[in-house]
Amino acid sequence: MNNLPTVTKNLLIINVLCFLGMIVARRYGIDIENLLGLHFVLASDFNAAQLLTYMFMHANFSHLFFNMFAVWMFGRVLEQVWGPKRFLTYYIVCGIGAGLIQELVQYIQYATLWSNYEAVNTGLGVIPMETFLNQLTTVGASGAVFGILLAFGMLFPNSQMFVFPLPVPIKAKYFVIGYAVIELLFGISGSDNVAHFAHLGGMLFGLIFIIYWRKKNGGGQIYY
């Protein structure tokens, strides 16, 4: 940990502490995930601060582990290249951007599927619409992590990566493109409860910022 750049190290520590705090709070009947997770914008439990706080909440240990592994593996490289201030700004913006895209997708779903109903059959029973909307909660640093993956792929496109279960290394640029396509396909299919469009939102906002920084730097690479 002593060799990690400052922001990367602190992000790891804060996320782990938040996860442990969430577990302890549950024993006292306090649902921190519900308070700090990102609710649907039309739900009564929504507040704007959740666009920031949700990225420090995680659903379970594996969710936390894989996100923090990616922050450790790729985030430290970006921080060493960009410096702590630029890296932290990028991380936060990608996370917030992912949250905004998730809100947009949920609003489209609400407008096209649920807006004319007073209750929803969830498969576990019929619940009032307001209760259902408050259950649309998003947590996790995945949006920021996908922004990190995009940046790594753009800054080091030809870096060789070993990705399970592929038997041969793959260039970072192909890994990022392939991952984005997979996320898009899963998002369109809607076959699980993962916020795939939020992941793509993190990539989108990361791409916008990288393009902006490159133009500001006269079209060159953003190595600072």
The CATH number for 20's domain is 1.20.1540.10
Distance CA 206, CA 98 (A): 10
User: Nearest-CA neighbor of 104 among 42, 27, 36?
Assistant: 42
Number of folded domains that form the chain: 1
Q: Which domain holds residue 103?
A: 6-216
pLDDT score recorded for residue 1: 64
pLDDT tens over the chain, length 224 residues? 668 899 999 999 999 999 999 999 999 999 999 999 999 999 999 999 999 999 999 999 999 999 999 999 999 999 999 999 999 999 999 999 999 999 999 999 899 988 888 888 776 678 888 888 888 999 999 999 999 999 999 999 998 877 767 778 889 888 899 889 989 988 888 767 788 999 999 999 999 999 998 888 765 454 43
In a domain, 46, yes or no: yes
Alpha helices in 28-83 (DSSP H): 32-36, 50-53, 61-70, 76-82
Question: In this structure, is residue 223 part of a structural domain?
Answer: no
Query: What pLDDT was estimated at residue 219?
Result: 53
1 lies in a domain?
Answer: no
In this structure, is residue 222 part of a structural domain? no
Q: What are phi and psi of 130, to 5 degrees?
A: -60, -40
d(CA 8, CA 86): 12
Structure tokens that stand for 173 in this block: 């640029």
Q: What pLDDT sits at residue 190?
A: 75
User: Is there a contact between 87 and 6 (Cβ–Cβ < 8 Å)?
Assistant: no
| Position 20 in a domain | yes
Residue 221 lies in a domain: no
Position 202 in a domain: yes
Whether pTM > 0.75 for this model: the answer is yes
**Quick check: is 224 in a domain?**
no
Predicted local distance difference test score (pLDDT) of residue 5? 93
